[in-house]
Amino acid sequence: MLVVEGLANKSLVETTSDAIVKLIVDNEYPVGQKLPNEYELSQLLGVSRNTVREAIRALVSRNVVEIRRGAGTFVSQKMGIADDPLGLTFIKDKEKVFLDLIQVRFLLEPAIASWAAQNATAGEIETLGQLCDEVEQQLLAGENPVKKDIEFHTQIAKCSKNTVVPNLIPIINAAITVFTNIEENKVVSKTIEHHREIFEAIKTRRPHDAQDAMLLHLSYNRNKLRKSMHLKETSFLK
Task: Write the pLDDT tens digit of every residue in 137-195.
Answer: 998 888 888 888 888 998 999 999 999 988 888 778 777 776 666 555 454 788 899 99
Q: Distances in Å between the alpha carbon of 159 and those of 27, 112, 117, 134, 198? A: 24, 8, 8, 18, 13
3-state secondary structure of 235: helix
Q: Is the dihedral of CA 219, 225, 229, 231 positive or negative?
A: positive
Domain boundaries, the chain: 2-75, 88-237
What would the pLDDT profile of 86-106 be if each residue is shown by its tens digit?
A: 787 888 887 788 788 888 889
Is it true that domain 88-237 has CATH number 1.20.120.530? yes
Mark 94-117 as b/e (b = at least 16 C-beta within 10 Å).
eeebbbebbeebeebbbbbbbbbb
The structure's pTM equals 0.73
Whether the Cβ atoms of residue 198 and residue 217 lie closer than 8 Å to each other = yes
Least confident of 53-62, 68-77, 82-91, 112-121: 82-91
Question: Considering the domain 2-75, what is its CATH architecture?
Answer: Orthogonal Bundle (1.10)
Q: Residue range 51-58: average pLDDT?
A: 96
